[in-house]
Chains A and B, each alone.
Chain A
Amino acid sequence: MQKNIEETNDASVTEQWGLPEEVRSVEEMVRLYREGKISDEEFRRFRLQHGMYGSRLNKDYTMVRIKVPAGILTPRQLVRIAKLSEDFSIGSAHVTTRQNIQLHWVYLDDAPAVEQGLVEVGLTTREACGNTVRNVTCSPFAGICINEPFDVTPYAKALARFFLRNPMCQNLPRKFKFNFACCDEHSYARIADVGLVPMINDDGNGRLVRGFKVYIGGGLGPASYLAEELEEFTPEDMLLPTAMAVIRLFDRLGDREKMHRNRMRYLVHDMGFEKFRELVLKERSIVNLTKSVLVKLDIKDKDKAQLQDDSYDHIEFKPLNPPDGFDRWYSSNVVKQKQRGYVTVLIPLQAGDVTARQLRALADICKEFSLERYVITTPWQGFAIRFVKEYRLVELYNALKEVGLANYGALGITAVVGCTSTTSCNLAITNAHRLAKEIRSRLIELGLDMDQAFKDTTIKLSGCPNSCGQHMIATIGFFGAAIRINNTLTPAYNMLLGGKVGKDNALGTVVARVPAKRIINVILRLIDVYKQERKDGESFASWIDRVLKGEGNVNVKDIHALKTIIDEAARLPEPDKEPEAYMDYGSDNRFIVKTAKGECAA
């Protein structure tokens, strides 16, 4: 590979999130815990604060969650994560729906060495778990989105910087999530505690000011809520006071007792949004009156809006003799940017898993092809490489293909999301992780990534009712359960339909229970029925919405009619006829439910 971009230490790219003294405190606390000098409870609180989450039914191991504000990772950081995954984890890393990267099955006593390795390249695990401000997520299209009024990335990073280690949010009633959208269409803002969508408004004197539409009190889980709009427009200088006011209120009024009802959305819901809004606005004026002049957001990134590539003449990009698979890949993985001549390339992974070798290759590819020279983790458990010159796409495709990263279907029905579930999580009932991979393989095999009708369809799975796999916002969502069928305990999923993010944000409706080994069958059956029932040009997701509203055609008028079809496709024979249908994916044994106490639901 030709190396035509010099490697530099661009300070605006590499933020120092980590602190060397935290490596020493992790080392010290692990030692004290192993020597029995601190209690389980004391250690648990500490380790969650430092991004270490318990591993499934095994106290010797930990998951290390690397907090990646706005999803930004430099080539050097990718290489380091690769090395740490080989040295102390399983040789693969996992990208999460909240843009973190996780290393699984790390031996607890190796955690300090992992921390050391991360801090050396500017990364941190601090406040990646626990009752803190979690990773500040940001649309991977921020800065390149055709719809966006301005790039929110610097604001996301500034907010992350402000709240990290901030005494005001070290012991909240429960975790707290911020999300920045680039625009309404791509917005995940309404499933966060505080979601922010950028907008530009006239300040009344003909001056245009940047600001946000602020949404408050959303979140997914056993009970999910969409966040509500705080006010018409929140100017940018009110961003920090508003965020601080909400956190202060939650800290003061939030429920610290009832383990399963202490996210802020319950507080907002119980009190009523109108009342909560009043309190926020009142609290914000107190914050403004009492805050120190030093408290402000440090917005320091350059604006990339003006970047464009004039080095070629922008005739429609059409490579001569493209390599095998290029066109298919291009149609589902390449997104146009607002900057002329540049595109964003999306890299889908199998349920977020990436090998050390692929991470190293990604680092080289990023240096070689991306003008901004970092990658971004996506909420679909993949990566985005942005600011790629369009005319170099064939070269990039070949480089990705060499390491198995030029996979099809980065968006739409084939970009199946699955949490880690029984591969590592204490809460999991079923192996949603493996099932997500199986579904994706099958749908790619059927070529559904190429079908425009499934571009706005999503499939997301979680292994339990907690919503790490974000099943509530999927067109077809699933969450793990155990049900008794023919007197046999069977791994199964509750199936939801009609969830979505973006402008028409909606939560899915539970419609059926399906045995794990019939999920693929049910999905394929739904696709068949859709093909018979659809109106001209109607997408799968729109058809689902129509049926949910009871406006379907005569054959499948409403959800009850559809449920009959689903139940039929979900039926299992007697256990002795097909014993494996009663076992979970990845298992040759009779299904049993084993779970342990959860520590945080992410």
Chain B
Amino acid sequence: MNHYLVFLKKELVEHARTYKLLIMLVVFTIFGITNPLIAKLTPELLASFMPEGMSMTIPEPTALDSWAQFFKNTQQMGMIVLVLVFSGVLSSEISRGTLINLLTKGLSRQAVILAKYSAMLLVWSLSILLSAALTWVYTMYLFPKDHLGVGYLLFAISCMWLFGAFLLALLLSSATLVQGNYGSLLLTGLMVVLLMALNIIPSIKEYNPVSVASKTMELAAGKIDPSSVYTAVEITAVASLGLIALAVIVFRKKRL
């Protein structure tokens, strides 16, 4: 059997049995259910905390508020959980030495990187799909009168997915570059912070992968045209592929 498929199977078994898959699915299920709920309940919660005799006009929540919750949660907590869950996926195998055994049996190093990335992408896709589907169904139930442009919404969700894929590529290539479990996490964090800092410069914003995630809300609401993030989307996709290629090249020569 092909090394890639053999190792992909091993990775998926690992994610399932070491509860990585479970954690991801549970966290994103919770997001999916609470997104519309929080949007619906926020005005009532605010009203109940309001002191006696004081009144404030809070606009009636809409389906858009529910999706705002979705994009906010996925972009912040979701990405943090994603990176933390998969932070040790390559580095722990290197530091523990579990890979050496298989590599001496002729397992191709390229297959290791590609299979690991594919397995992570699969879990990530499943998680965001589940969360989006739950948000969708629940939003329709709680806000039956509101209608959003399905095309815009799907494009925004795809952008969010792409940013997750970019983070995973960053994480995997970091693990080939530095030693230890925390090293790769640190490097990934630093890179993200750097990209965010760069976003302050307006002329770079258009090309920055961070825009892909940060503009999702406006995209979903139809406030900006999808074409305004095309450049960033292309750059993010190319950068992800480039990072994986880098990971393969570095890992091939890495001393284990």
**Is the A/B pair a real complex?**
no
Residue positions of A touching B, CB distance < 8 A? none
